[in-house]
Each structure stands twice: as C-alpha cells, then as structure tokens.
Structure 1
Amino acid sequence: MVVFIVYGFRIFSDTKSVDALIKHPLGFPPMEFPTGNEFSRARWELGKKLFNDSILSIDKTISCGSCHYPHLAFSDSVALSPGVFKRAGVRNAPSLANIGYHPYFLREGSVPTIEMQVLVPIQEHNEFNHNIVDIARELDKDSIYVKMSLEAYNRRPDPFVISRALANYERTFMSGNSRYDQYTFQGKKKALNPTEKKGMKLFFSERLKCVNCHGGFNFTNYAIENNGLSEKYEDPGRFRLTLDSIDYAKFKVPSLRNVELTAPYMHKGQFATLEEVIEHYNKGGKNHPQKSELIQPLNLTEKEKSELLAFLKTLTDYDFVTNKNWR
C-alpha cells in the first residue's frame, strides 16, 4: 500500500478517502466546491488525467501541465510559455497554488469561475487553439475516459465534464505549510531565523504597507491594479474586458505564496529575480496615469532589502511542491 504524507495527514492511494485531498491548511477558510461540481475522488482523478493530457491541444504537443509545473507551485520557469506549433505566449503563466480561493481569474480578472477559465487556454490561438466540443468527441472514443467520466459525473465525456473535472482537480491545489505558516499558525517559533523575522516585521509594517495589496491568508487582496511596471503597455490588461480607459494596464494582484519558485515575475515575466522585484517597488515604480497611489518609494536600505527577501522565501511550501499526488 502506498502512503503519501500531506500536511500531517495520510492519503492512501488505494482508498476512496477524500478528506485529505480537500483538508484546508491551518489559517485558511474551507475550500468551497460549487453545487453540481462537489468534490469526489473520481472527479479529482479525471481532472488530474485531463490536466496532464496533451489531447487538449490541437497539435497534441502541450497540456495544462506543460505550463504549470508542480515543483514550481504550478507556474512556469520562462517568461512566456510557448503554445501549439511553438507559437509565442502572450502572458506569464501564473501559479495555480490556492487558485480555488480566487474570486475571479486571468490576469485581468475577467472570468468568474475556474470552470469557465478552463475554456480560455483551450481556445486561445497562442495556447491550445482547440475546440472543447472536438476534444469531447475525441475523449468519447477513449474507453478509459468514458469509464472515468461516467463514474465521476454519470455522463459520457462532454464539455461539461471536461471543464468541471479540471476545476475540481485544481481546487485541491491548497498550499499553506510554509515556514511562515509553521511560525504563525503552528506555534513553531524556531521556524524563522532573526533575519527572516526582521523581514516579516518590515513586510507587515505601516511604513512599507505591503499588506495593503498582499495581505490575508493568501497574500493578495485580488484587486485589479497598475503597479507602475512601465510607462507604456502593449497588454491593455483589464481594459480588454471593460473598454473603460480607467482600467487600462491594470492586472490582478498575485499571491506571494511560493514566490521564491515562480520566477520570472509580472504579467510579461519582465523580472528574473526577486531582487529585481524588490528594487522596482523600492524605487516606487514608473510613472503611468493608472498607477496605484499605493505604489510609492520604499527607501529601503541594502540590509532591509536582504531582510525582506529572506522573509519572502519563507513563504515557500516545500511539502506542496513535492507532493506526489500531483505526479
């Protein structure tokens, strides 16, 4: 019998136990699964298979897992992940850790549910460039997929099954066992060293105001903002959804959990290192009409930059990124 250890509890690979897969970390609210797509092990298994199957792409070369790697907190290591036929990507692949807690999806927050978000990479020209109806027809010819689909949703493979199963699987990507969590929620006072504690104090200070954007259990307020990344933007951001000039070049504030592993950073992957990110905010960003008023020079010393960097690295959840359930 294979046994996996996750957040202190055990998952037995030959049981139908679901508690371990959906147990939320300490300090987190329970994960909500929508009516009609409640969690089950059968749905999770189907979603996992689909997530890693290149059948979703038109040329059968890439899958969801081609741009969202478990060891990188379900992000990618390149600025722009290539799509089918080696077409250039248009945005940096964000981490999917704790994605089920987000109130909306995509960089501009234009999609309200994970089930709907799944459709975007499938049909995007520079990603999978496929049609979910055609994918369903292909899956319906596969006896394994038919069996798994009937067990999970009591229906043969169709767009409903594909989108629901992928969303069901992704909602279990809960990450909350970093050294910061161990220190804050688990009473392990030796989990952080003195330098990291100083960085944490800086991060939560009124002086830096990092938590005004990166607060809460998931280190994001999910707001749509402009962070002064550039004076000019090719990507219109939220404007693509609203067509309101006030939303031009605004993007969703990302979570900082596992940020050490999710380089390169920003919506185009412009920054290769966390040091560059810290320096960007230390200078107060570049001038742009929509830049958030919260983005102001931080005036950090070199020592304070090192302390802040050390703290950000404590947000890495190694149990999550090495969890064998994703493999």
Structure 2
Amino acid sequence: MQAIVYIGCEKSKLGIISKEPQLMEIPVGFPSMSIPEDNTFTTERWQLGKKLFYDKKLSLNNTISCGSCHRQEFAFSDSLAFSPGDLGAMGVSNVPALANIGYHPYYLRGGSVPTLEMQVLVPVQEHNEFNMEILDLAERLKQDSTYSVMALKAYKRELDPFVITRAIACFERSLISGNSRFDQYYYQNKKNALTANELNGMNLFFSEKTNCSGCHRDFNFTNYSFENNGLYLQYADSGRMRFTHVESDRDKFKVPTLRNIALTAPYMHDGSLKNLEAVIEHYNSGGVNHPNKSVLLKPLHLSAQEKQDLIAFLKTLSDDNFIRDKRFKNE
C-alpha cells in the first residue's frame, strides 16, 4: 500500500496539493518533492499540462508531441537510440526516462538546465525536436478556446510561455514510480517479493565488489553526479563540458536513474548499448581508460551466474503499475 504524503511541509520550497492528492502519491520510502512557489500543484494545472504533453501542435508541423518520445510503456522514455523530431529530424541524444523527474536537481545529460519549467523550453525550441519559438507556440495554442479557458482556470492568466512551461512541468512531476518489486521488498516489507537469484543480485549490486551503488544510490538509484564511464576514448558529444567549458568535465554525463531500467533500452547517452547484458559486460570490463573516467570503475571479474543475478535484480526495479496507470495515458 502506498502512503500519500501531502506536499506542503516547507512552504518556502514546496507546493501545496489542495485537490485530488492521489495525482501526487509519494511512495513509501520516498522524500517529499520540492516544488516552485510559482507552480504549486493543482488538478487544473495537471490537466492542462497533460493535454499539452500529448498535443502535436507543440511541434512546427504538428507531427510530434512530448508523448511521442516519452512513451508510458517505456517509463516515459523511448525504444530508439535517437528519437525523431518534427518531420523526422533526428535527435542528438538518447531520450531519458521521465519517471521521478521531479526529484532531479538539474536537467539534460549535461545538467545545464536548473529547473523542470526551464527544461520544457529545450525541446520546444530545439530545431531537431519541436522546432518552434515559444512565443509563436503560445499564439498558436491560444486559437484553441479550450486552452484559453484551461489557462485562466489553472493560472488565472491567458495562455503564454509561463503557463505552457509550468503546466507541462506540473504534469511531469506527477510521473512518480515507486511500486516495483524491489520497493515491495525493501520499503513495503514484503519479503517474498524477490527470488533467491534476485536477492543475490541485490546484494551484489550494493557490495564493495561492484560498487554499483557508488553512483546509483538512494531511493531513485542515482546520485545525479556527472561521470565518465569509459564508454569511448573519443566521444561525438563532449557532455557536460559543452555547458561548463571545463576540460575535466569533458565527456561526462549525468548519472541516470536505474528505476524501470529494463524498460528503457537502448542505454547510455547515445543509445549505443542495446540490452542489459551489454551494459553489464561493459562495466564488468571496467571500460576504456579515458582521462576523465570515474575512479570508481574497475574490472569486476563477475562470473556468469553473478551477471545473471545482477540483471535479475535490475529487472525488479520495473514498476508495472506505473507504465499501466490510466491517469497518465493519452485519452
């Protein structure tokens, strides 16, 4: 059973849920979520954000929406290495999952965007994604009287860039995933939720031998740091350095969550590893000796059984309820 936490404990940082708190269920073991004061959670804002999230009018030629690349069955990620944008223009980075995105302290692979509201602007104005100017988008959407009514109801102002970015962020914050079999075992005390092999894999994951939890830790299985994992010696994308211009940030990317990891293939910032087996083999090898490679990475010398057990554990992080939740479907 999930506990419902009303977000509003720290008024200076957190929003207040006044209606239908079931839209923002906080699972057992999860902390409260920080929400900007200018975008406190309401049902009206959530409804507007959901409508925008699935509307193809956000793209220049009405061909894609946020939901085209962030698909619920893949934990709001995609099954492609690079997802096509408006009129098939190819994206430049593997689409990250949006599960628990409201807990992230910054956004994009290089961490260059500080808030979820600001992140919304990136795909809207990116030429390879929606290819729209946000002011033009607001004018387009205002022609739809439904949007005008919903904007006034939700934010007490006409539909404009402020409303668009905040409504979508409001909806995305509700994409909370915390009812996997791991959660049932670890947080809900259902000791029969995991098999012996899965438990072996869990113990291996948290062991000093693998040190997986050195980066993939806490309730969201990430420490949100920027790391190089020795995937290549030379990268097509310089990662965080594009934002900081600091050489020690070259080819470093934000550590992703492992929640629903079995649903979000292919893997890595460029989608170059097709399955979990390939991911485990990469980390088992220790990666190539890139000058900025994390000091935590080293050859693991895993046995065939240990590899199987580790993959079995990672699959327990899948939340079937989340990917089937009718509240989030495009209906």
Q: Does TM-score exceed 0.5, indicating one fold? A: yes
The Cα offsets for residues 131-188 of structure 1, whole Å up to 9 and x where unpaired, read as 1100100111111000000000001100000000000000001100000000011111
Structure 2 match to 1:246: 248
Pairs within 5 Å for 1:178-217: 178-217=180-219
The one-letter code matched in structure 1 to 2:231 is: L
Q: Deviations over 1:247-280 (max 9, x none)?
A: 1110000000000000000011001100000000
Residue 265, structure 1, aligned to residue 303, structure 2: no
Equivalent-residue separation in structure 2 for 1:228 and 1:212 (angstroms)? 16
Residue 18 of structure 1, CA deviation? 2.1
Contact 2:265 2:271 in 1 (8 A): yes
Partner of 1:141: 143
Q: How does 1:85-124 map to 2 (within 5 A)?
A: 85-124=87-126
CA contact (8 A) 2:2 2:26 kept: no
Check whether the contact 1:23–1:30 (CA below 8 A) recurs between aligned residues.
no
Structure 1 position 53, deviation (Å): 0.3
Distance 1:23 1:93 in 2: 25
CA contact (8 A) 2:2 2:28 kept: no
Note the aligned Cα RMSD (angstroms): 1.2
TM score, norm. by length of structure 2: 0.94
2:221 counterpart residue number: 219
Shift of 1:8: 8.0
1:81 aligns with 2:88: no
Q: 1:51 aligns with which of 33, 50, 53?
A: 53
Q: Across the two proteins, how many residue pairs are aligned to each other? A: 316
Identity within the alignment, % = 58
CA displacement at 1:7 relative to structure 2 = 4.6
Q: TM-score, normalised by structure 1?
A: 0.95
CA contact (8 A) 1:46 1:149 kept: yes
Q: Deviations over 1:228-263 (max 9, x none)?
A: 011110101001101111111100000000000000
SS at match of 2:124: helix
Cα separation, 2, equivalents of 1:238 and 1:254: 14
How far apart, CA to CA, are the structure 1 residues paired with 2:318 and 2:2? 14
Q: Secondary structure at the match of 1:36?
A: helix
* Worse-matched range after superposition: 26-35 or 248-257: 26-35
Equivalent residue, structure 1, for 2:158: 156
- State the 1:23 CA deviation: 2.0
Q: Distance in 1 between matches of 2:121 and 2:19?
A: 29
Aligned pair partner of 1:296 in 298, 312, 315: 298
- Deviation per CA, 1:1-28, whole angstroms, max 9, x where unpaired? xxxxx9588xxxxxx9421111200000
- Do the aligned partners of 1:7 and 1:319 also contact (CA within 8 Å) in 2? no
Secondary structure, counterpart of 1:135 in structure 2: helix
User: Gapped runs of 5+ residues in structure 2?
Assistant: 5-17
Q: Deviations over 1:82-134 (max 9, x none)?
A: 11121111000000000000000000011000000000011111111111100
C-alpha distance in structure 1 between counterparts of 2:82 and 2:20, whole Å: 35
Distance in 1 separating the partners of 2:317 and 2:174: 19
Gaps of 5+ in 1: 1-5, 10-15
Answer yes or no: is the 8 Å Cα contact 2:3–2:28 preserved in 1. no
Q: Which amino acid aligns with 2:241?
A: F
Deviation at 1:32, TM superposition (A): 2.1
Alignment of 1:7-18 (within 5 A): 7=2, 17-18=19-20
Partner of 1:23: 25
Alignment partner, residue 11 of structure 2: none
